Amino acid sequence: MLNINVQHYCGEKALRCAALQLRSAGLLSTALPGLDPEFLAEGFEGQHSGAMVAYRESVPSAYLTYAVRSKGFRAAIGSLSFGHLPVKQLRIFGIVGSPPDNVIDEFLRQLLAQKEWDIAEMFEIAPHDPLAGRLAALRLPRGFRIIRKEVPTVQIKLDGTFEDYLNNRFHKKARYNLKREVRLLEEAAGGEVEIKIYRSPEDAAPFLKDAENIARLSYQWKMGMTTAHMTPENVQRLSYIARAGKLRSYILYIRGMPAAYCYATIRHGELAYETVGYNAQFTKLNPGKVLLYKILEDLHENRPVGALDFGRGITDYKLLFANAKRPLIDVSLFPPDGYSQFLWLLATATDEGYRRLRPIVRQWMPWIKRKVQKTLGLLLPGLVEEHEILLQLMALS
């Protein structure tokens, strides 16, 4: 028997009611937006969101949040994904508080008992996270399948001064070249280089407007990748994050023109590198690298966070700047119905095929890069100079 009562809240009114109780108990968390029931009540993760709250003697002691959304299922080959099969995704954001194992099990039991989703997913959770631990030990209902993937990530820890970081991370020649690139951009712009930091709710619309202007001229936009979009929903979302004190994004301006952007939020005391892009007409001036240099200069000077986290996808420029690594885990659950089992088979087959083919394909990478580079040079002029993008696209290095 549970010593703690678990109640399930779903829908806008119920989530706002739960948020009031959690706030009074000092449990409301904005470390990650999805962990905040008020954020879910705003509809930013869809209309089918909920929270499970554990009560000890009528006082909230822990909670779990989730959302069910219609998504496109994409099979993954390394960090490259393809396909767009329609699915109902149960996104589990995590747990706030320190509930005992039997309470975590009850959270999961109630979630898994719902019949309105095709795949349940948790992204980038720490291996020592209690939820990850319980999933590893939990006896799943008959027919359920689980996939656990380790996600390598890299960070920049902010220890000491910015000069300390440069001296410790880069050799003398590399430091010189990096500072030279910053100087060359400033000289080319006649000193008219400006970095703006966007933090307040009023900053949301101006940031998205200029970030989208950059994105429309970037390689990501041309290739249909995730970029900044100014929509009423995105403005509201960023405004909410800013009100919680979790927005810290940047734009580099060259002679008043938006040249590079970084959409970033503060999560668990780190600056999470969400979406970046630059205006391709400035490619030879390395605006993206210069912006990252300026971001690190700002973070070391003002210390709003303890680290910059690059998230998933390890590319050349991230490895160039990173001074730390951290493995995370993605977990996917597939219920026993036919469609979900098909998705599990597809995900398993592509992952196994990738692991088997990767050592073979690596031998051919120089030839593949030259061919892809030549093709992209014809289709998207200017893109071929970005070697890290080719690595990200093929995810084989």
Q: pLDDT at residue 390 above 50?
A: no
| Among 212, 393, 188, 367, CA closest to 283 | 188
The b/e string for 230-253 (b: 16+ C-beta within 10 A; e otherwise) is beeebbbbbbbbbebebbbbbbbb
What's the whole-number mean pLDDT along residues 103-107? 92
Copy the structure tokens of residue 396.
Answer: 């084989």
Token readout for 189 is 């712009």
What proportion of the chain, given as a percentage, has pLDDT over 70? 85
- 203: tokens are 């900053």
Average pLDDT over residues 137-155: 87
Distances (CA, A) of 205 to 66, 198, 202, 369: 28, 10, 7, 39
Q: Compute the chain's Rg from CA coordinates.
A: 23
CATH fold group of domain 159-305? Aminopeptidase (3.40.630)
Query: Which residues, 6+ apart, have CB-to-CB distance to 106 below 8 Å?
Result: 2, 6, 54
> In 73-144, which residue ranges form alpha helices assigned H by DSSP?
101-113, 130-137
Question: Is 366 a residue whose pLDDT tops 70?
Answer: no
> Average pLDDT of the chain?
85
Q: Residue 42: pLDDT above 60? A: yes
- Confidence check: pLDDT of 157 > 80: yes
The C-alpha atoms of residue 173 and residue 181 are separated, in whole angstroms, by 12
Whole-number pLDDT of residue 16: 95
pLDDT of residue 52: 95
Q: In this structure, how many other beta carbons lie within 10 angstroms of the beta carbon of residue 326?
A: 15
Range in 3-17, 67-81, 102-116, 143-157 the model is least confident about? 67-81
Per the CB < 8 A criterion, the answer to whether 240 and 39 are in contact is yes
Q: Tens digits of per-residue pLDDT, 212-223? A: 999 887 766 766
List Cβ neighbours of 196 (8 Å cut-off, separation of 6 or more): 250, 251, 253
CATH number, domain 5-151: 3.40.630.30
Summarised one tens digit per residue, pLDDT across range 44-64 is 998 899 999 999 988 999 999
Tell me how far apart the 2 most distant CA atoms of the chain are, in Å: 72
pLDDT at 394: 37
pLDDT at 391: 38
Residue 363 pLDDT exceeds 70:
no
